[in-house]
Structures are given as C-alpha cells and as structure tokens.
Structure 1
C-alpha cells in the first residue's frame, strides 16, 4: 500500500511538471506573427536605410517648352521664360516692394492640372531649375509665394497658371531645364512618383538673347492671377 501511494504521488508530480501542449491555433498565430515581423524588418531595412533622395526617386517624363507633358498624377506645360534684374514681392500686409539681384531672376510661366486629386506645390520638394552641368536651383525665397504658382491649388479638370521664380547666375541659363515635382512625403516610399523635365529651349544663342534682354524690373503683382 505504501508503494502504491508513493508511485501515485510521483505520477502526479510528473504530470504537473509536464508542459502543456500548444494548440494548433496558437502555433499558427505564432507563425503568422513571425512572418509579419520578418516582413516589417525587411521593409524597414529597404526603406529607412535609404537616403531621402533614394526614397523619393522619380519616374521622369520629358518634354519641351510649349509642349504638354502628361504623367500619371499631373499634366504640366511651361509656356514662357523671362529674365529680369528685379521683381516685386509683398509682405504680410500686402505692401508691394521691389527686390533686386546681382544675378538673374528667371520667371517661368507654368500651367498644370491634376489627374485625380488636388494638390499644392511643396517647399519640401519644390520644382527646380536643372542646369546643363547638374546644378539644381530651388525657387527664390525673395518672392512671396502668394505671387507665384505655390499659391494655387492644382485640381483635376482645371488648369492652374502661375510663375515660378528662380534666382540664378548667368552661367546657369544655357541648357537649363525645369523639373516639375509634385509634393512628396519624406515618410512614404514611392519609387514611381512622377516628375516632368521640361527643356526650356535655352540653347547657347537663345540663352544669350534672354540674358542680354533681361528686364530691369518685372512686375509680379500685375501678373498674379
């Protein structure tokens, strides 16, 4: 009788120590969670290890001044290019003043429409002037955005027009292109975001004429629309 009781107690202790078996559902859930975590790690490695420039690379559509350049997100055309030594700006009270430069202001008249959703141009990823030797100039901060295309909503079914104003040295003019870039998020990767690269027709002779005929003062207030 004593032997039977000892064996019974030993069997109960062994049963208590034996780990419970996992159900099939728990094993499947654990496996799915592992897959999700692995996928998240791969995504993070691919995206957050890349530079901002890599994560915001663009699919480039090309055209020439006067032509319509159509992308999956927007359609744009550059209508004309003007050069000036001074332009208008306004302050918070809409007081008009003149700003000058020792370089050149290039004023590009642009029209654009959206394919699906309205958007505004962004200072974080603005259109740029791309020179023949690869330099990139952002729109000047000397001009109030209210007088430029930055103040317009670009909407589906409607063409919005306005100026983009760049301050550049004369040697940036020959062969320059306008690269029109829609707003992008630094947190979202889109390797197929579109941009439009527009040849402004500034060959050597055309660039020379534009520079030599630059206006002393170009009014932006009378042209803002």
Structure 2
C-alpha cells in the first residue's frame, strides 16, 4: 500500500492530537503531593491556634498535698514534705556515705499507682520541683536511685511509696509544687501525656517553719532497709 502525502498529513495530525498518557509513577507522585499539602494545611490550622508553650506542654492535673490527684495514666498523692541539711547514700558496693549541702535537701514522700500499665520513673524526664517563679529542680544526683521512688515499679491497682529528694536553695520553698510526670522514651516524646502538679502547701510562714525545723541529718539508708 502506498501512503500519499495527504494520508501522511492526516496521520501526523492524529498523532499530535492524541494526549500523552501519564505514567503510573507520575500519578502516584501527584497523589502523594496532594496528601502532603492537605496534611500541611491541617498542621498549620491546628498549630496556629495554639501557642508554642501549649504545643510543648503536658496536660496538667492539679491538686494539693494530702489529696489524691488522678491524671488518667496514673494517680499520685504527696504524703508529706520534710527537710534536712544532710542525708546519706550508697554506692555500687553498698558503702554508706554521708552527703551534706549548703542549701537544703527537700524530701517529698510520694505514693503512686497506675491505671493500666506498670511504669517506672525515668531520669530522662523525671518528676521535678517547680518554684513559684518558674524555676525547675530535678531530683538530686547525690542520692542513689535505689533509695528513692526511682527504684520502685508502679503497678496498676497497687499503691507504691517512696521518696523524691531535691537539693534546693531556701528561697525555692515558698509556693513550690511537685510536678509528677510519666516516663518518656529517649526517642519519642508524647507532648500530650498527663502530668500531676501538686501544691506542697508551703506558704511563706510554713516554708520558714520547715527550714527552722530541718533535720541536721536524715538517714535514707536505714529507712530503706
């Protein structure tokens, strides 16, 4: 069969008029881009309605010393607060050593239980002492974890008690609160995990009494045995 010039022009016109076919890879890429844009829009909408502090803060349940504070994943109660100018600790060989401070050791007696799963406090994100002016104090590293609540598993349905020991200046006591937080992973941090903030009931007068009545020496080792 001989192709004439007119037939050739018609064939070229037919080919040019046919829209190019989009490959499967291009269609998938377009779908992924659409999903990413939608997710970005949702993120912007949610986060512009929240402050930076809100986005990074835990859900806080508040209470006072002596009260049971329920925080969904766990329940906590601060039993008592005492102060000392010296405590003791042990090392890996169980050698007992007296530890002193130019400030105060604040000993917070805490009881806790969990709702569903066992948990153990973590030094990566431990409970902390929050002062009235916003300072935060982690538990002291001068005391072995084995003598404190860090050494206890908190189980569902069972109350577990232990001490949290903070080394703080005297001016940190008035208005101070214990912020009890669940353990976090070193990789994944749940910014909406619950925390319990317990007012320790330390007014100016009660803080002054606590300081004046501080023990010269409080043995943690003898009380843990």
Instruction: Bin the TM-score by the shorter chain.
Output: 0.7 to 0.9
1:119-198 paired onto structure 2 within 5 Å: 119-185=119-185, 188=188, 190-198=190-198
Number of residue pairs the alignment of both structures matches: 222
- Residue number in structure 1 paired with 2:4: 4
- Residue number in structure 2 paired with 1:104: 104
Show CA shifts across 1:159-210 (max 9, x none).
1111000000111112211111112346546453211111111112211111
- Residue number in structure 2 paired with 1:204: 204
Task: Indicate if the aligned counterparts of 1:57 and 1:190 stay in contact, CA closer than 8 A.
Answer: no
CA distance in 1, matches of 2:134, 2:3: 93
Task: Indicate if the aligned counterparts of 1:67 and 1:78 stay in contact, CA closer than 8 A.
Answer: yes
Task: Indicate if the aligned counterparts of 1:83 and 1:215 stay in contact, CA closer than 8 A.
Answer: yes
CA distance in 2, matches of 1:209, 1:15: 95
Task: Indicate if the aligned counterparts of 1:56 and 1:190 stay in contact, CA closer than 8 A.
Answer: no
1:210-221 paired onto structure 2 within 5 Å: 210-221=210-221
2:105 alignment partner, SS class = strand
- Residue number in structure 2 paired with 1:33: 32
2:222 alignment partner, SS class = coil
Show CA shifts across 1:105-159 (max 9, x none).
0000001011111111122221111112221111111111111111111121111
Q: Indicate how the Cα distance of structure 1 residues 189 and 216 shifts in structure 2: closer, same or farther if over 3 A, else same.
A: closer
Task: Indicate if the aligned counterparts of 1:55 and 1:189 stay in contact, CA closer than 8 A.
Answer: no
CA distance in 2, matches of 1:205, 1:108: 19
Structure 1 segments of 4+ aligned residues over 6 angstroms from their partners: 25-28, 43-47
**CA drift at 1:80:** 0.7
- Residue number in structure 1 paired with 2:64: 64
- Residue number in structure 2 paired with 1:87: 87
After superposition, the CA RMSD in angstroms is 3.3
Task: Indicate if the aligned counterparts of 1:175 and 1:203 stay in contact, CA closer than 8 A.
Answer: yes
Which TM-score applies when normalising by structure 1?
0.83
**CA drift at 1:5:** 7.2
1:32 alignment partner, SS class = helix
CA distance in 1, matches of 2:172, 2:17: 80
CA distance in 1, matches of 2:92, 2:199: 35
For structure 2, list consecutive stretches of 5 or more residues without a partner in the other structure: none
Q: Indicate how the Cα distance of structure 1 residues 107 and 81 shifts in structure 2: closer, same or farther if over 3 A, else same.
A: same
